[in-house]
Amino acid sequence: MEISSSVKKKIEEWEHGPYDQKTKEEISFLLKNNPHELIDSFCETLNFGTGGIRAKMGVGINRLNQYTISFATQGLANYITSLNIKNPKVLIGFDNRHNSKFFASVAARVLAKNNIKVFLFENLRPTPLISFGCRYKNCTAAINITASHNTKEYNGYKVFWSDGGQVLPPHDEEIIQHYSKIESINDVKISKEDDFTNIEIIDSEIDIAYLEKLFSMELYKKEKSNGLKIIYSPLHGSGITIIPKCLNEGGFKNVIIVKEQETIDPDFTNAKKPNPEEKETLKFGIASLLKNNGDIFIATDPDADRVGVVININNSPYIFTGNEMAAIMLDYICRNETLSKNSACVKSIVTTKLLNEIAKSYDIRCFEVLTGFKYIAEKISIWESDKSLKFIFGSEESLGYLYETFVRDKDAVASSLLIAKIASEAKKNKKNLLNVLYEIYKKNGLFREALYSFQFEASEAGLEKMNDKVEKIRSHPLKIIANFEVVKIEDFLKGKIYNILENTKSILDLPFSNVLRYTLSDKTTITIRPSGTEPKIKVYISVETHDIKNIEEDIKKLDEKLKSFYGIILDILN
């Protein structure tokens, strides 16, 4: 296989430059045995996106390794230095993945050499603890080495700013600019492995402070032991470090850990796809739920920012979607929180419209933001600054929730406790969480959602074809879908709302993003969004009815309607 001159030059820089022997041997091995992989490893520089980096591990500038971690950190250090902040500090955490602890130490050594104080976790911790710790330690920024729910080949580099939320403009753009100027290891300052100048190792201090803050809140106040039987799985990840303790201190003494997924394991031996949205990943927990006659099974992803929920109904499991749990949690918060006319919740544009109806029923406001929890965190910061509104809940359909504001990312630790409390209340009232959900439907309307993904070839041609499909739909707007008239089109890239019935045009008050949303005459919404990281178009469909006669029959009808849209969307894309 022929290697281009530009790629060859980059490979030779690593072969003959100041890189370790193991790296050089790996390059030689790939050159002989897998040149395609070697070319891919050096064909381009890792993309530092608006939230950081997520990529496969390996040698080269297009993989995560100790050198690319150091490049990213030097870029961050250069930006922080440019701000002339007095005594800058950065907190660093990591998850259970291969190299996570090592990468965290590399990042710490780079920052330390740049005269930036570092708080480095000794052991793995959940993402919400990194966000909380950043605020608690009054840090300028924080880094979390994690690839969240990706498979074992991946790792990531996630950057938070001083408010504890993922970096937003202008900081994200400035960090990217500084990162792009780092061309080789010669541009990096890094201290020796045994030099701990400017590095302070921390561990349980943040856990203790987090739990104290959590239990000081009325909604999370500790209870005496109750009879709820909980099955819990960390999916081999960081949730094991604090969630069982959090549940126990909250009064939930009957917690059974799923043995097959209890150990901290970078290979995810019994959770090959460590995502609580994956039914296959939940099988061990479901088996334990039924075997032990448990009430509820809670599973968190490796960095414990997402939480999945399954309940036991007469020895049959019911798996909740993220939309269903968000509705249950918001309704519970509204019933138990002291609300005011300034109370508000936030959801992503692809999260269930049921939240809007729940908010309306409690006379509070519900705001939409682009996909990405950083936009929910941004709302909290804005409202705290201008004192206009009070945040009470934020959610994304992909199992991400937040109630408390001392964390600025989705929090599976606090959410696990809140979900247990809601399940406990239901049990005391001779109900379960599905009964609670049905009551919410009866009050607010029945909403059902589906996500369909349409894959394209993993190549430049595939990405181009994907973007062409979306652009074609944008330039030739659909007028009728599934025999229903299109009444509204929201084009997030152009920042425009087109009201077809009234023949009017208005401004869409959100940042520009390559998303299209169609509203049909029967209130169905279809949201089309190309993935930013892979050649895949995601289509989110929401259907609803407010004429509920038999809730289970009505659910079946709506679910059949959702299924019928798959072929229709496929035809549109083709």
The tens digit of pLDDT for each residue in 241-262 reads 999 999 999 999 999 999 999 9
CATH of domain 446-573: 3.30.310.50
Q: Please, which pLDDT band fits residue 263 given cuts at 50, 70 and 90?
A: very high
Q: What is the pLDDT of residues 318-349, one digit of tens each?
A: 999 999 999 999 999 999 999 999 999 999 99
Contacts of 306 (CB under 8 A, 6+ apart): 148, 149, 275, 276, 277, 300, 398, 399, 400, 410, 412
Query: With contact defined as beta carbons under 8 Å apart, do 446 and 544 qualify?
Result: yes
d(CA 143, CA 166): 10
Angle between helical axes of 21-33 and 35-42 (0-180°, round to 10) = 130
Q: Find the range with the poorest average confidence among 350-354, 397-401, 570-574.
A: 570-574
Q: The sheet that has 230-233: what strands, in order across it?
A: 255-257, 230-233, 296-300, 307-313, 316-319
Instruction: Sort strands 296-300 and 255-257 into parallel, antiparallel or unpaired.
Output: unpaired
Distance of CA 301 to the CA centre of its chain: 10
The per-residue pLDDT for range 490-504, each reduced to its tens digit, is 999 999 999 999 999
pLDDT at 235 over 90: yes
Give the burial class of 363: count Cβ atoms within 10 A of its Cβ; 0-12 exposed, 13-18 middle, 19 or more buried: exposed
Q: What is the pLDDT of residue 381?
A: 97
The H or E element containing residue 481 is: strand 480-481
If pLDDT is split at 50, 70 and 90, which confidence band does 524 have? very high
Q: Which two tokens stand for residue 124?
A: 């793995």
How close are the terminal C-alpha atoms of the chain, in Å?
34
User: Predicted confidence band at 533 (pLDDT cuts at 50, 70, 90)?
Assistant: low
The reported pLDDT for the residue numbered 572 is: 87
Cite the active site residues. Answer: 148
Q: What is the mean pLDDT of residues 186-205?
A: 96
pLDDT for the residue numbered 565: 92
**Is 91 a residue whose pLDDT tops 90?**
yes
Mean pLDDT of 121-141: 99
| The model's pTM | 0.96
So what's the pLDDT on residue 463?
Answer: 84
Q: Is the pLDDT reported for residue 385 higher than 90?
A: yes
pLDDT of 47 over the 90 cut: no
Pairing of strands 480-481, 400-402: unpaired
Ranges of CATH 3.40.120.10 domains, the chain: 44-202, 208-444
* 345-349, 376-380, 449-453, 464-468: segment of lowest average pLDDT: 464-468
What's the whole-number mean pLDDT along residues 543-555?
97
Write the CATH number of the domain with boundaries 208-444: 3.40.120.10
Residue 432: DSSP 8-state: -
Q: What is the pLDDT of residues 281-312, one digit of tens each?
A: 999 999 999 999 999 999 999 999 999 999 99
Q: Does the structural domain 44-202 have CATH classification 1.10.15.40? A: no
Count CB atoms within 10 A of the CB of residue 491. 18
> What is the average pLDDT across 50-60?
90
Confidence of residue 1 (pLDDT cuts 50, 70, 90): low
Taking 70 as the threshold, does the pLDDT of residue 413 lie above it? yes
Which among 440, 384, 424 has a CA at the least distance from the CA of 221?
Answer: 424
Nearest by Cα to 321 from 270, 412, 396: 396
Which own/partner contact pairs does 167-173 have at CB distance under 8 Å and 24+ positions apart? 167/50, 167/51, 167/52, 167/141, 167/374, 168/50, 168/374, 168/375, 168/378, 171/79, 172/50, 172/51
- Residue 49 is predicted with a pLDDT of 75
Whether residue 354 contacts residue 439, with contact meaning beta carbons closer than 8 Å, is answered with no
pLDDT averaged over every residue in the chain: 96
Strand partners, 117: 89
pLDDT band at 50 (very low <50, low <70, confident <90, very high): low
Half-sphere exposure of 330 (CA within 13 A, CB side): 36
Alpha carbons within 13 angstroms on the beta-carbon side of residue 384 total: 13
Mean pLDDT of 195-212: 97
Would you state the pLDDT for residue 3?
86
Host H or E run for residue 348: strand 343-348
Smallest CA-to-CA distance from 120 within 104, 97, 138, 136 is with 104
Look at residue 352 and tell me whether its pLDDT is greater than 80: yes
Say what percent of the chain tops pLDDT 90: 92
Residue of 319, 404, 389 whose CA lies nearest to 359 = 389
Residue 535 clears pLDDT 90, i.e. is over it: no
Positive/negative CA dihedral, 295, 301, 305, 308? negative
Q: Is the pLDDT of residue 478 over 80?
A: yes
Angle at 266 between CA 265 and CA 270, to 5 degrees: 55
What's the confidence (pLDDT) of residue 2? 79
For the record, the structure tokens of 212 come out as 């104290």
Beta strands in 138-205 (DSSP E): 141-145, 154-161, 199-202
Burial 557-567 (b: 16+ CB within 10 A, else e): ebeebbeebee
Q: Contact at 8 Å (CB) between 414 and 403?
A: yes
